[in-house]
Structure formats: C-alpha cells, structure tokens
Amino acid sequence: MIPITKPTPENIAEASRMLQQGYLVAMPTETVYGLAADATSDQAVARIYALKNRPRINPLIIHAHAVEALQHQVIWTPQAQALAQAFWPGPLTLVLDKKPGASLSLLATAGLDTVAVRIPNHPVALDLLQALGRTLAAPSANPSESISPTNAKDVQTAFSKTTDLRMILEGGPCSVGLESTIVDLTTQSPLILRPGAIDAAALADILKMPVAYAHQVSSASLKAPGMSLRHYAPQHPLRLNTEHVGPTEALLAFGPHPLPGAAVTLNLSPTGDLTEAAANLFSYLRHLDQETVTGIAAMPIPDRGIGIAINDRLQRAATSAKV
C-alpha cells in the first residue's frame, strides 16, 4: 500500500524530492485530493495519464502557490487579476492563453494553446508548491471516470498497485468536496466550463459582466475536453430527483425530511445546507455504492449556488452508471 504521510516539514521536503525526480505525490486541496507531478516534465506528467488511465486529449490543471509563478506560463489579463484577487487561493480555475515560451509539458496541456491554472487553498498543497518552487500538474487523484477522492484513504484505496505514486500527503477531509469552478477567460465573454463552489453570480459580481454556464450555451460545452458525460461513475444505477424510494434501494437524502423506506440512508445535509451537502457528496456516493442494494436514489437538490455544481456531478454520475 502507498503510505499516507503526515505533512511534517521533513515529509514535505521528501515529497518535493520525489516530484523533482519525476514521481507522483498525492496532495490534499480544499476541493478534492490531487495527483501531482512536475508540470514541466513530460515524463512525470506521462505517469499521471498512465496511472489514471486518462485519455491524453484531456488536459490537466496547473497549480501554483503564487500568481508570479503562473505569469511565466500564461498571458495574465486584468480579468484574471481581478478574479485571482477575489478568489485565490481558492476553488477557482482560470483558462488563459498560454504564453509563448512557457515551460509546461505539452502533455500536461494536451497540446492546447490555452492553460487551466489555479492556486489551491490548502496549507499542505501550498507548502509543497512552495518547497518545490515549480508548478504542479494535478488532476483529481482517482482513476479516470471514477468518483474523486475527498480524503487520503480514498486515494490509497484507488491506487494500490503502483511504484510511480510514492506518497499520499494527509490533509484531512476536503472542506469543499467538489472540484474547482473552471471559468474560460479566452472566450468573448467569460464562460463557466465546470460549475463548482464559486458560482456565476459571484464571478459576474467581480468581473462586472454576465457570466454564463457552458451547458446553457449550445456547442460551447465541447470546450472542456474532460467534461464528457461519462464521469464520476458509481457501480450502482443512480436515479435523481426522487420522490419515493424502494426497500431495496439506498437513499441519498437532503434536508430535514428524508424519504422513508430505504434500505439505507445517508443525508447530505439534514439542515438543508448546500455547502455541507457538497462536502459530503463524493464520500456518501462511495459509501452507498458499497451497499448491497439494487440502486441509489437521490432526493432533489436546489439548483442554486453550489447546488448547481452538485446537480452537475449527480447528473454525470447518473448518466454514466454501469447499469
């Protein structure tokens, strides 16, 4: 088993050495755990694609501890500056034009002329990035198409047989629990390619212009290559917006009135708090998926704020279920 390691200064230094040698380290972020590699090394980045079994056309997010580190790699704009000031470090990824002469691995950006960048808000990730002094390419630390990990143990379970992943840094449960909001700033007007904790209204407020969700704009949804519908797959069939549940089903409940009659129930937030529900979503889906039931039924989630992101993930999980 790959060891789960306490993020002491010595262990962070050791993780940094592993990354310099081209190996992978799993690191906590506030959204989900990431599988990190030196973003400038083709060999290291190739290990990410191999371990995740990820299609090479699906580019990675580049993480840094400071804006200056990203300014060598992307063309920085006033819009980027405004959003960075408002939301970084935090669960927001910006898609920007790649800078000529950027040192990023072509594999990391899947050969695109744009790059997705973010500064994560987790002390362990920031310490590691600072110790390394380089940017890290880091997708969620799960095999392609499965549910993203929100704690160190789920990373350990996902990748049991590999020598490429040397260390899993312990960082506790992820506070946000859903992947970052991705906003494309290279389009005519800003476009959310993946909904997350920071919603369109919050972005529009800072940018002083309307921000749309890609799924509301026809044909635009093709722009985030990784946003194929097949994603976050549980093994059990998942049905959404349910108003009744059968005795052989597991219930993913929300709010003060969970439906009665399920074989097993987990409540995302008994008080109806969407932030709490987001933080619980992936681990509860994993738990219910391990129950001996005929399927999982999910109660409706209000489609506002981070609820939009929860519904996005639930819809993908329902579409991709291996029935």
* DSSP-H helix ranges across the chain: 9-20, 42-52, 67-71, 78-87, 123-132, 152-158, 200-207, 274-289, 306-320
Interface of this chain with ligand TXA, residues 225 to 254, rule: CB under 6 A: 225-227
DSSP E strands in 98-199: the ranges are 114-118, 136-137, 165-169, 181-184, 191-194
CA dist 234 and 45 (Å) reads: 27
CA dist 150 and 176 (Å) reads: 9
Q: Does 34 sit near ligand TXA (CB under 6 A)? A: yes
Rounded to 5 degrees, φ, ψ at 278 are: -60, -45
Interface of this chain with ligand TXA, residues 283 to 322, rule: CB under 6 A: none
Site string for ligand TXA, 142-181 (x = CB under 6 A): -------------------------------------xx-
Q: For residue 40, give the amino acid letter.
A: T
Strand-pair category, 249-253 with 264-267: parallel
- For Mg ion, which is the closer residue by CB, 117 or 250? 117
Q: Does 146 sit near Mg ion (CB under 5 A)? A: no
Task: Give the residue, chosen from 140, 150, 175, 242, that forms a contact with Mg ion under the rule CB under 5 A.
Answer: 140
Task: Give the residue, chosen from 37, 39, 45, 61, that forms a contact with ligand TXA under the rule CB under 6 A.
Answer: 61
Task: Give the residue, chosen from 41, 73, 140, 175, that forms a contact with ligand TXA under the rule CB under 6 A.
Answer: 140
Q: Smallest distance, Å, CB 258 to Mg ion? A: 29
Task: Give the residue, chosen from 7, 89, 90, 120, that forms a contact with ligand TXA under the rule CB under 6 A.
Answer: 120
Check: CB of residue 244 under 8 Å from CB of residue 298: no
Q: Smallest distance, Å, CB 274 to ligand TXA? A: 17
